[in-house]
Amino acid sequence: MNRKCGKCGSSDLQQIEAISNQITQTVDAKSVGVQAFGGQIGASGSKTTATITPLLAKQIKRYVPSKSSLFAFIFYIFIVLFFIAFCISIGVPGSIPEENVNAAMFGYGGLIIFIYLLYKSFQSRRSYEERLKKYKNTWYCWSCGSFRIFK
């Protein structure tokens, strides 16, 4: 399949998934040291692992879809249920005693925030396959540096 860049017309294109896998490197560094000070001798060692990612890999990272974890989704459900129970125990707006107004604002505010987070988590899980397909169909032009989605 011959693909061409829509911006510059070049055929020097590559899938961003393949680029991301090829240009990310993992580096291991080890060091050992011996030190003598004040009549005492000490030895130490360390190991560090790092991932080197060029600028292109960082640009590609924003295209990689992420899926909300099932744990987060279930956690949000439990938190929403907690806030519902909390709000029920305080009372409905309009019949809340004066001393419980701050607690009611906390309860209803928390309920609204966590319902929104639950919705976003559900939306993320539902649209993941579509976003993954878009990611796999995104290509990078090595000539002009643009990204393009092919169907």
Phi, psi (degrees; rounded to nearest 5) at 30: -125, 145
Question: What pLDDT score was predicted for residue 24?
Answer: 62
The CA distance from 118 to 121, in Å, is 5
Give residue-wise pLDDT tens across range 99-111: 777 888 888 888 8
Of 150, 145, 143, residue with least CA distance to 11:
143
Give yes or no for a contact between 121 and 72, defined as CB atoms under 8 angstroms apart. Answer: yes
First-last CA distance in the chain: 12
Give residue-wise pLDDT tens across range 13-67: 888 777 777 666 666 777 777 777 777 777 777 777 766 666 777 777 777 777 7
The CA distance from 65 to 6, in Å, is 23
